[in-house]
Structure 1
């Protein structure tokens, strides 16, 4: 009797002790590749442009690796059971993005454009700022389910952020896209990038609460069985907003994402 009582506790402690480190070790191994691939891409671009390895290759690799290492340690400490794929994927995409920006910088330098300022170092600084905010969220947001309380507030906030570039005197048209706002002292900013994060909170909370209602078809329309209008309504609103974004802000990427 005593043995059967203690058995679940023993298995739970074993899973708790082995499961989390195993996930984090997988994440660490993937991070090595997520940093190595952009470093090789950086070297490849330098060789393609000038037939020599870029002088900033070491600093770029160390910088990206250090930022990824800080994020990994934070996840290992504060979110040991997190998905091991997300951080490596984000690191890989960010690293390749930095390489693309550096490649564009080199093209503009070769053209000797006036008043040109390289964007890659600034982008790396933004990456460091993002990692800092990421760590802060991990430390203070102990339970992500708390965000479910702010589902509709998140939707309203996201829609406000998306509309800001259309406000006269605040929005700015850059390269044909009206996705920027001018902030005195800070320059231009894309509120839509923050809206994507807030919308993720909205969709996660809404689909969690309405998952059963959305799964139950109530009526047939044009050969499709659809949920009730009041359950499908918020999703249709976001869909309509995505079309308006495409028409008025000329932001195809964000529109397709929301669609």
Structure 2
């Protein structure tokens, strides 16, 4: 146990050391010295991170210990690049981002202490649905929502600033999806007709996916936000596949969203502009277009190309030439100054986090925990794919931000809470002995009953059919006997005297 704790501390200190070296090197090149304004905020971040690790070790002792070092290292790389771009643009976004990091760590510490059993979230499934929908649709309220760069996904709160409620809505909707699919997985797993080797679901079971599809299209149409719409629908379809194990749900979900996206691209100009910029980024007309053009895409590609294999070096590139280089395009900024090696290193950190989440989903015994962990980790994986794929022209730009790295308090805090939930679920998955309290027993009993409910009903039907068949055979065999008895005269019954058993023979003779 001591050796395990030493390895955990070594990983944590290694992430601090790498981030500190990156800050020192970058500031030495751009300013000549380490600015004093960053000493106290970065020191507070280190102290809070150590306190968070101690709390996890105290209250969630079996939690995965690779998540926190990877998250801190990604956050540190993002802060270095944001501070680098601040120097060129003469802004102070990095100090504000450090403040959001400290707030996120404090909230996650409270979550680690307060949420001892993640399964309590299942009690508030429909409350989570209502809260998630309210957060998702709140930018549409007049006077509260705010439209930026063509997307109405922001809410302005006096004294706080702008927040993106959709980042928090994904957490609450993940709670609801996990609880709903856990309760109805048996009905959704029942297949209908087979088409081209796929077991299609029954028509009456298509209701949930149709409702989520309509909600996703509503977000796309009303809020002009392709990324959030795609993320929510993909999260639900992925959790639906995990709950039922049927590939047909993936195929139906892909076809449904592809049809909706094609329709939206032909009807709404903002969606069609992103598709055109993706297909023809070097077209001079699109490049010089003021709104919806390809200038950001092209400058980001030039930044990645100038970085080469090893990059220009921290503080020696020009990432600020790309619009929104510290938020939407921070991955291109990393590629310019850290090169292909730095980009692959960032992807490896994400792969470690995602793999740890999927391992947790496979190890946890509770069905609700499996669905929740897989939904949360798939949401992160999908978000990373869409951001990196949009920057590298694999798919159109979606407007999502890179988790833990991009500037923005809403995305940072929401993804820190997501990672903390994975930590709490991993504690239950890695625990050697199950808890024996009454609440845990109740959850486990309910899970066992629901797992065997379908089998019990099937066994009852088979027993009833067997009983009916036995009665039918007895009825058929009794008909000839009754016919013979009616033709034969009945004789009075003679009383039979019971015979007493013989006494045993001495000597053991038989």
Scaled by the length of structure 1, the TM-score of the pair is 0.74
Q: Which residue of 1 aligns with 2:272?
A: none
Q: Which residue of 2 aligns with 1:84?
A: 65
Query: Which residue, out of 98, 119, 128, partners 2:102?
Result: 128
Query: Which residue, out of 144, 156, 167, partners 1:170?
Result: 144
Deviation at 1:182, TM superposition (A): 1.6
1:58 to 1:184, Cα distance in 2 relative to 1, 3 A: closer
Give the whole-Å Cα distance in 2 for the aligned partners of 1:173 and 1:88.
36
Bigger Cα Rg? 2
| Contact 1:172/1:182 (<8 A) preserved | yes
After TM superposition, the structure 1 stretch with the greater mean CA deviation from structure 2, 243-252 or 157-166, is 243-252
1:150 corresponds to 2:130: no
DSSP 3-state at the match of 2:125: helix
| Contact 1:35/1:61 (<8 A) preserved | no
DSSP 3-state at the match of 2:155: strand
Deviation at 1:223, TM superposition (A): 6.0
Equivalent positions of 1:134-213 (< 5 A) are 134-213=108-187
Q: Which residue of 2 aligns with 1:55?
A: 35
| Contact 1:218/1:227 (<8 A) preserved | yes
Deviation at 1:134, TM superposition (A): 1.1
Residue-by-residue CA offset, 1:143-187 (whole Å, 9 max, x unaligned): 110101112321221111011111122101123331111222322
1:22 to 1:107, Cα distance in 2 relative to 1, 3 A: same
Q: Which residue of 2 aligns with 1:13?
A: none
Give the whole-Å Cα distance in 2 for the aligned partners of 1:76 and 1:93.
22
1:64 to 1:199, Cα distance in 2 relative to 1, 3 A: same
1:93 corresponds to 2:74: yes
Give the whole-Å Cα distance in 1 for the aligned partners of 2:225 and 2:206.
25
Deviation at 1:213, TM superposition (A): 4.4
1:78 to 1:174, Cα distance in 2 relative to 1, 3 A: same
Query: Which residue, out of 42, 50, 53, partners 2:23?
Result: 42
1:237 corresponds to 2:211: yes
DSSP 3-state at the match of 1:83: coil
1:225 to 1:77, Cα distance in 2 relative to 1, 3 A: same
DSSP 3-state at the match of 1:181: strand
- Choose between structure 1 and 2 for higher RCO, CA contacts under 8 A separated by at least 6 residues: 2
Give the whole-Å Cα distance in 1 for the aligned partners of 2:206 and 2:9.
40
1:102 corresponds to 2:83: yes
Give the whole-Å Cα distance in 2 for the aligned partners of 1:44 and 1:230.
61
1:206 to 1:185, Cα distance in 2 relative to 1, 3 A: same
1:38 to 1:155, Cα distance in 2 relative to 1, 3 A: farther
| Contact 2:41/2:99 (<8 A) preserved | no
| Contact 2:132/2:172 (<8 A) preserved | yes
Query: Where does the alignment leave 5 or more consecutive residues of structure 1 unmatched?
Result: 1-17, 110-115
1:149 to 1:42, Cα distance in 2 relative to 1, 3 A: same
Once superposed, which parts of structure 1, at least 4 consecutive aligned residues long, lie more than 6 Å away? none
Query: Where does the alignment leave 5 or more consecutive residues of structure 2 unmatched?
Result: 235-510
Number of paired residues?
232
RMSD of Structure 2 on Structure 1 (CA): 3.0
Q: Which residue of 2 aligns with 1:249?
A: 223
Give the whole-Å Cα distance in 2 for the aligned partners of 1:231 and 1:37.
51
Give the whole-Å Cα distance in 2 for the aligned partners of 1:252 and 1:54.
41
| Contact 1:23/1:83 (<8 A) preserved | no
1:141 to 1:248, Cα distance in 2 relative to 1, 3 A: same
